[in-house]
Structure 1
Amino acid sequence: MATVAVIGETVRVTGFRLAGVVVLPADTPDAARAAWTCLGDDVAVVILTPKAAEAVGGQATARLTVVMPP
């Protein structure tokens, strides 16, 4: 079964846990890149905060991604 993950600042992503989303807090660009590389093959959709999207850069095209509004 495919899952959904969210990467970004802790205060913006924690609430997604209530919806069953895999939450990967990343408060720095390095943490966002590390979280991206740790995504499992079962993750079909990744939600990124704007800062995480900037940190991940071109890697974000490898999966279906959604960027939150600022």
Structure 2
Amino acid sequence: MGAVAAIGERTRVAGFALAGVTVLVAERPQEVLDAWADLPEGTALVIVTPAAARALGPERLAATRPLTAVMP
């Protein structure tokens, strides 16, 4: 099983660290893109906030690797 990461605003993703998720805080669109580019090797699932999803765009979200889930 691969690693899990979360990208987005600190207030929305910080709690995932308690479950062992790699948390990449990104408050602005460019920070989101930089975090995506810096995902640890072997990341299988990325949880993103709605704001991060908008910054990433539909093409990245539609990719099958890594699997991406947008928080409600």
Shared topology, TM-score over 0.5?
Answer: yes
Return 18-27 or 32-41, whichever deviates more: 32-41
CA distance in structure 2 between the partners assigned to 1:61 and 1:36 by the alignment: 14
Give 1:60 deviation, angstroms: 2.6
How many residues are matched?
A: 69
- Cα RMSD of the aligned pairs, angstroms, is 1.1
Give 1:67 deviation, angstroms: 0.2
Name the structure 2 match of 1:59.
60
Give 1:43 deviation, angstroms: 0.3
Percent sequence identity over aligned pairs? 52
Unaligned residue ranges in structure 2 (runs of 5+): none
Unaligned residue ranges in structure 1 (runs of 5+): none
Normalising by structure 2, we get a TM-score of 0.89
**2:71 is the alignment partner of 1:68:** yes
Normalising by structure 1, we get a TM-score of 0.91
